[in-house]
Amino acid sequence: GGVGKTTLAQLVYNDEKVEEYFDFKVWVCVSEDFDVVRVTKSLLESVVRDTTSAASKVWESDNLDILRVELKKNSREKRFLFVLDDLWNDNYNDWDELVSPLIDGKPGSSVIITTRQQKVVEMAKTFPIYKLDPLSDEDYWSILSKHALGSDECDASKNTALEEIGRKIARKCGGLPLA
């Protein structure tokens, strides 16, 4: 946690070129309490929010089959980007139930998953996989000094004690930008 997975996904999601490429985009925060019905409803609600109110009543159902059919119908032949942020569930059956309605999306459709768990990556069989590693102490110090001192460079002749303390803080944060 804190290495920047969600931040990176947000940068992609909000990029202008991404906006132009996809017919629609949906962001769902999944977290530890994975419920395929809840996630499917969230996707469906976002996909059909601009349609008539009669169609929008569909997501009030708790029947997963009805929700999946409606999601498939509304995402078919459209290029979509779905972001499933902070996915913890590594149950293949749950994953298959969630993504099976998305198979008929227009070529170029994508699902981005952020997760802390290698088992989730293996279960989802996502490609390509981008593993984010913590920052080096030097890179972390560069970010910290920029935010704390308002510049990229710490003037060593003026702030040696401050730089020493800052570098210790950088090491203690373990390369995690969120820290």
Q: What is the 3-state secondary structure (H, E, C) of 65-104?
A: HHHHHHHHHHHCCCCEEEEEEEECCCCHHHHHHHHHHHCC
Higher per-residue confidence, 110 vs 104? 110
Q: How much of the chain exceeds pLDDT 90, in percent?
A: 13
> Who has greater pLDDT, 59 or 162?
162
For residue 27, the model assigns a pLDDT of: 93
56/44 Cα distance (integer angstroms) = 9
What distance, in Å, lies between the first and last C-alpha atoms of the chain?
Answer: 10
Q: 91 or 112: whose pLDDT is higher?
A: 112
Beta bridge partners of 24: 80
What token pair was written down for 92? 């293949």
Task: Report the alpha-carbon distance of residue 121 to residue 57 in Å, rounded.
Answer: 33
pLDDT at position 146 is 82
Closest CA to 118 of 108, 129, 133, 109: 129
Q: What is the mean pLDDT of the chain?
A: 82
Q: Is residue 49 predicted with pLDDT exceeding 80?
A: no
Return the higher-pLDDT residue of 58 and 75: 75
Higher local confidence (pLDDT), 55 or 118: 118
Cβ atoms 97, 36 nearer than 8 A: yes
pLDDT on residue 57: 61
CB 67 within 8 A of CB 59: yes
pLDDT band at 53 (very low <50, low <70, confident <90, very high): very low
Average pLDDT rounded to a whole number, residues 114-129: 81
Q: Do 48 and 56 contact (CB within 8 A), yes or no? A: yes
Instruction: List the chain domain ranges.
Output: 5-124, 137-173
Query: Tokens 């779905």 correspond to what residue?
Result: 82
Q: What is the pLDDT of residues 126-166, one digit of tens each?
A: 677 888 888 888 888 888 888 777 765 555 556 678 888 88
Where does the pLDDT of residue 17 fall: very low under 50, low under 70, confident under 90, or very high at 90 and above?
Answer: very high
**What pTM does this model have?**
0.77
Tell me the per-residue pLDDT of 81-97, one tens digit each, with 9 for 90 and over: 999 998 888 888 888 88
d(CA 2, CA 133): 10
3-state secondary structure of 110: strand
